[in-house]
Amino acid sequence: AAVAGSTTRAAGGQPVDIGRITGPMFRADPGTLSEDRFHPSADGYRLWAEALHPPVEAAVRRRAAAGHRREA
């Protein structure tokens, strides 16, 4: 995780600790895991999407404010 975080920062990104953010919800609600009890269920993926939305939106806004344009 530390290497991934430093690599993400070096590339100009902001790491998101999704386990820290959603772990308590996964532990509290068995419905967030699929039948194999390892992979997220649809509800688990929804939690991940909800957790990732604010930091992704913030990153998009930062890039737009800095004048970055998408390359074709």
- Residues 31 and 66: beta-carbon distance below 8 Å: no
At residue 45, the pLDDT reads 98
Report pLDDT digits (tens) over 11-39.
888 899 999 999 999 999 999 999 999 99
State how far the Cα of 40 lies from the Cα of 49, in Å rounded to an integer.
12
Residues 21 and 51 sit within 8 Å (Cβ to Cβ): yes
Q: pTM for the full model?
A: 0.76
- Angle between the N-to-C axes of helices 18-28 and 42-65, in degrees from 0 to 180, rounded to the nearest 10: 160
% of the chain surpassing 70 pLDDT: 93
Question: pLDDT exceeding 90 applies to what percent of the chain?
Answer: 62
Tokens of 8: 């993400």
The structural domains of the chain, with segments of one domain joined by +, span: 16-65
